[in-house]
Amino acid sequence: MSDVGGREDVSGGRRRALVWLATGALLSSTGPVMGLSVAREPLPAWPGWEAFKKAQIQADGRVIDYITTDLRSTSESQAYAMFFALVANDKLMFASVWHWTRHNLMPGSAPITLPGWLWGRSASGGYRLLDGNSASDADLWMAYALLEAGRLWRREDYSAAGHALLQLIQVHEAARIPGLGPMLLPGRLGFAGTGWWKLNPSYLPIQVLRRCALELPPSSPWAVYPHQALRLIQLSAVQGFVADWVRWNGSSMQRDVTASWDAIRTYLWAGMLADEDALRAPLLSALHGPLDQLRNGQRMPEKIHLESGLQEGREPRGYAGALLPYLAVQGQNQLLASQQQQIPPVAQYATTGLPYFERMLILFGEGWLQHRFRFGPQGHLMPSWA
């Protein structure tokens, strides 16, 4: 199913929003990425976010992936929408998305529970929670968005909800893994058994882990989670590419055979780390695969078979969006410009059938590149409006 064709009429396009004010110049497609300590002026409206709202979010705050047969909503899509609403200083949309999430993905009588990851149309035709298991990456981003909304908007209710969600993550989604140490599992159920643990490197954005760790005692496992995220990537990367999923048996890593839609986010998170973050350099060093690929004149494929090295499929437009920060912080201006050219103007998103997940990757990558947000050394969100 194509992406809600007629619901989008965003004018102007993304390129009008590329404003930098470090030196009073506009950000060109090949311009360098500046540091955090620059003078900023208010940015224009965010066409990509406005398009995302019109195309993907119902009036009640439900984010819908229209290319799925069950017209699903996920805890991930809800969490990302909350983050983007905060970046855009869109208080009404943030409240709407959070309200829908609480009332549809958090079953039970408790005010805050771990959200079920999948909601949509059932086989009988009704809409309901289809899978009550959790997804820790979504839970992390949701807790992060709540904590930062509480701080930036001075909303104690959001701060309290974010803190409560963090406590639930630690209770239900954390483990001390033999030979690996403290680690967050990808969800509440199904990711650990006798002598094995299944992990996802893209579920552990270091900036989010750093910010969440500030809410808990220094003696808690959260203090080491950022370093554990780096270690997991260093142990699992093959020729600079990271797998979608890995399996740890207590002494060694067994990698998934593919690197694709999950793994692409790992490069995105790495590129968006603060300049001052001591883990950024070793992380980018471990993730040199995409840079090598592009330097050799090749495009990123949709999938890489890590054991054989075989590559499959054309680079999705969302991948190009995800790679923007990764290339920018490494000074790869020509490669950056080439990736930008693969992303259609916002006004063409609907006609080109750009689906939810690709829009999301582009929002992260372009939003960061346009200086709509940055992450501080301790993971705090630094939106352009604050």
Q: Are 222 and 212 in contact (CB under 8 A)?
A: yes
Residue 60 annotated as catalytic: no
CA distance 203 to 261: 12
DSSP-assigned letters across all residues of 164-227: HHHHHHHHHSEEEETTTEEEE-SSSSSSEETTEEEE-GGG--HHHHHHHHTTS-TTSGGGTHHH
Residue reference for tokens 């102007």: 12
**Looking at the DSSP assignment, which residues form a beta bridge with residue 174?**
184
Structure token pair of residue 252:
């060694």
Given 137, 256, 262, 277, which residue is catalytic?
137
Positive or negative, the CA dihedral 366, 65, 150, 50 is: positive
Structure token pair of residue 26:
């506009």
Single-letter amino acid code for the residue at 225: Y
In angstroms, the first-to-last Cα distance of the chain is: 39
Q: What interhelical angle do 356-369 and 264-271 show, nearest 10?
A: 20
Helix (H, G, I), strand (E, B) or coil at 38: coil
Residue 115 sits at the vertex; the CA angle it makes with 111 and 119, to the nearest 5 degrees, is 125
Please list the active-site residues. 137
